[in-house]
Structure 1
Amino acid sequence: MECEDEKSMADSISKRRTRTQIMQRKKRIEELLRSAYSSDKDHLSHFPNFRHYNTNGLSLFLESGRGNKLSYDLKNYIQKLLKVNMEGPYGAEWPAEEKVKRRDMSSPEALYIFVYNKESMIGFVQYRFTIEEEIPVLYAYELQLEPAYQGKRLGKFLMQLVELIACNNGMGAVVLTVQKRNTSAINFYLNKLRYDISSISPSKVYQLMGVIGQEKSYEILCKTFDHETKAVLEES
C-alpha cells in the first residue's frame, strides 16, 4: 500500500510539472508574439542593409506598413496586383479567395514590406506572426511583385529579409501557402530557397492518414530554424 501511495504521489507531481511546463511554454509564446507585434516596432530597422535594393539595374527602397493603417490608394494597389498575379493560379476559386484576401489585408495583424522605385510602388510582402502546431512562426501571406520586376532576384532578396525578421523575433519557422497551379512559385520556394512541404500540408496529412482521392489546390511550405520545429513542421 505504501508503494502504491508513493507511486500515486509521484504521478501527481509529474502531472503538475507537465502542466506547469505547458503553461510556461504557452506564456513564452504569447510574450514572443506580443513583442513581435509591438505598436512601435519597425522590423526593417534591424536590417538597414535591406532598406535598399540596387541589383540587376534596379534601384528600389523598402518601407514597413500595417494593415490597419493602409491608405485608400494602397488598398486599391494591393487588390489590383493580387488580381493580376493570382487570378490565374486560383482559377475558379479566385472570386471567393479575393474576398478573403481583401478582408485580411486590412487586419491589424497584417504586417507589410512595401517596395518602391523612384516613381511608385512595385510590390509588397504581407506577413504575420502566429502559431502553428504550438510553434511560433512567421506566416508569409503574400509575396507580390509586378510582372516587370519578377525574375530579377528581388523575390529571393525579400524572402531572405522575411527569414531574418522571423529569426530576430524568435520564430521557429517561416511558413507559407502556395497554389499547386503556380508551378513557378513552387519551383522558386522548393528549389531556389530550399523550403520543404510541411507535415501540416494537406498532401502530407492525407498521405499519413491513408486517404486516397482527396486533394487540395495548395501546399503548405516551411523553412525551419531549429530541431524542435523541424520535428513538428517537417518530420512528424
Structure 2
Amino acid sequence: MTLAIATLPLLERRTLAESAYAHLRDLLASGRVAPGEKLSLRDLSEALGVSVMPVREAVSRLIADGALEVAPNRAVRVPVMDGRQFRELADVRAGIEGWAASLAATARSEAQLDGIARAEAAIRGAERSADLGHAVQLNRDFHFAIYGAAGLPTLVDVIGGLWLKAGPVINLDLRHSRDRLTAGHALRCHAAALAAIRARDAEAARAAIAEDITRAADFIIDKGGLPSG
C-alpha cells in the first residue's frame, strides 16, 4: 500500500460510497497520486476502513468523470496526459475559472472577500514553508474561495471536475518542488486577483486567474515533465 493511500481517513459507516467518492476526489485533486499510478481497490478499501463494494462504486464514478481510467491490463490508474492534452485542459480551465473569478468580483460579499484575502495571505506565508503539501491545500483554498463567491454552485462543481483531471499534474509538481512559488508568478497573480475582486473589477479578476493557470501550465510543460503530444 502506498503512503498516500495509507493516510486516507477511515470512513463513517453511513453513505459509504459517497464518502469514498469524496475522499478519492480529494486524493486526485490534491496531487497525492501521480499520473500513471495504479490504484488497488483492496488497498483503498483497507485504508478507508470499508468493504470493496463502496470503493468500487466510487472508482466507477471517477472513471466516468475521466479522473481515472482502466489500463489495457484492467488495472485502474491515474490517467497520463501528454503536453498537448495538458495544454488543452489548461486553456479550458483558464476560460472557465477566469469567468468564475469575474463573477466573483461583482457578486462577492464582504465576508467572502475577507475569506479570499485570508486565503491569499496564507498561501503567501507558505512560500518558505517546508510543508509543500500544506501549500497545495492553501492554493486550492484560495482558488475555491474565489469560485465559491461567484454564487453558482453548478459552476463550482464543473471546476471541481477540471481540477480532478489537472490535480495529479499541477499539484504533484507543487508537492515536490517550491520552484513555482519562488518564481513568483503564482503569488503575483493571486495578489492581482485579490486586488481586482476587492475593486469589483471583473475583467482584471478574470485576467489574473487565467494568467495564473496559464503560467503554471507553461512552467510545468517547460520543465519537460510531460510526454510530448
User: TM-score range with shorter-chain normalisation?
Assistant: under 0.3
Q: Which has the higher helix share?
A: 2
- Name the TM-score, length of structure 1 as normaliser: 0.21
Structure number with greater Rg is 1
